[in-house]
């Protein structure tokens, strides 16, 4: 049994009067890739918001590394060691690639090791080295995704949460992004990713959860989920499974 890095414990969250999560509980073990699957409006992205403190749950708690995150704001949560790759990347469009990536190190004050890490992520994403002085908003979708991942890495997080990292990318870039996620994971960073594309997510994930209208309806090792007939019907429709 591995240690649990992130745990959501019976979270109930609301948008005004509308309840989004119903007793949502899930766990991200240390060093693993965990994916949260679900269709539109299942509450996937809201789960990200709850973890990052952008939405306060009405009851239940988020526990990171044994410490509850209740009452902390987003910057404080980020400082605890959670990096994020937001939905549709959310880069700072008119800032350069270099500035965007270094913004990820905003919470760190060790200039020397930041510079080393910056070289490190450029080695990981060589494409960004040529683009470093370019405005981030002018990059292609795949390149922007790399900037977003590089930015998240710069905070030296222990966990990166990703919201639909493959959305809107060409198939070529999708594979590259999945590889990158695995590479990052091998360096010891746990990954929690929210995905609509179950077949892709389950290819690289260790564990998966299936969210339906705010409730977890299935969970288990990724390999089991990929074989589960329910999942196949609901999310792996013939064409996509290929």
Residues of this chain that bind another protein (CB under 8 A): 52, 54, 73-75, 78-79, 84, 86, 90-95, 99, 102-104, 106-107, 151, 155
| Shortest reach from residue 148's CB to another protein, in Å | 9
Nearer to another protein, 14 or 106 (CB): 106
The span from the CA of 201 to the CA of 164, in Å, is 9
| Shortest reach from residue 196's CB to another protein, in Å | 20
What is the dihedral sign for C-alpha 75, 7, 87, 120? positive
Task: Find, among 117, 102, 192, 110, the residue nearest to 151 by Cα.
Answer: 102
Nearer to another protein, 111 or 239 (CB): 111
Nearer to another protein, 14 or 92 (CB): 92
Sheet holding 18-29, edge to edge: 18-29, 4-15, 59-64, 67-68
The span from the CA of 28 to the CA of 7, in Å, is 6
Residue 72 CA from chain centroid, whole number: 19
Nearer to another protein, 49 or 131 (CB): 49
| Shortest reach from residue 12's CB to another protein, in Å | 20
Nearer to another protein, 94 or 187 (CB): 94
Cβ(94)–Cβ(48) below 8 Å = no
Backbone angles phi, psi at 20, to 5 degrees: -100, -50
| Shortest reach from residue 18's CB to another protein, in Å | 16
Element (H, E) at 179: helix 171-186
Distances (CA, A) of 38 to 16, 47, 198, 209: 22, 11, 8, 8
Nearer to another protein, 91 or 200 (CB): 91
Burial class of residue 123 (count of CB atoms within 10 Å of its CB; 0-12, 13-18, 19+): exposed
Nearer to another protein, 131 or 151 (CB): 151
131 contact partners, CB below 8 Å, separation of at least 6: 97, 139, 143
| Shortest reach from residue 2's CB to another protein, in Å | 26
């Amino acid at each position: 049994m591995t240690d649990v890095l992130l745990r959501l414990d019976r979270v109930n969250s609301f948008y005004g009067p509308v309840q989004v999560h119903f007793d949502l509980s899930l766990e991200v073990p240390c060093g693993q890739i965990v994916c949260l699957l679900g269709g539109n409006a299942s509450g996937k992205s809201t789960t990200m918001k709850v973890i990052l403190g952008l939405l306060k749950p009405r009851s239940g708690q988020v526990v990171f590394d044994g410490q509850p995150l209740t009452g902390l704001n987003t910057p404080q949560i980020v400082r605890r060691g959670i990096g994020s790759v937001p939905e549709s990347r959310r880069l700072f469009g008119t800032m350069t690639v270099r500035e965007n990536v270094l913004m990820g190190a905003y919470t760190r004050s060790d200039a020397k090791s930041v510079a080393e890490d910056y070289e490190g992520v450029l080695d990981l994403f060589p494409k960004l080295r040529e683009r470093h002085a370019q405005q981030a908003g002018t990059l292609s979708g795949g390149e922007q995704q790399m900037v977003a991942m590089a930015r998240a890495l710069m905070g030296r997080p222990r966990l990166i949460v990703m919201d639909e990292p493959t959305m809107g990318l060409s198939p070529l870039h999708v594979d590259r992004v999945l590889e990158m996620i695995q590479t990052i994971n091998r360096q010891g960073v746990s990954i929690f990713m929210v995905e609509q594309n179950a077949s892709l997510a389950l290819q690289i994930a260790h564990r998966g959860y299936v969210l339906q209208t705010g409730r977890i309806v299935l969970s288990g090792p990724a390999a089991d989920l990929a074989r589960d007939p329910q999942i196949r019907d609901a999310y792996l429709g013939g064409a996509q499974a290929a």
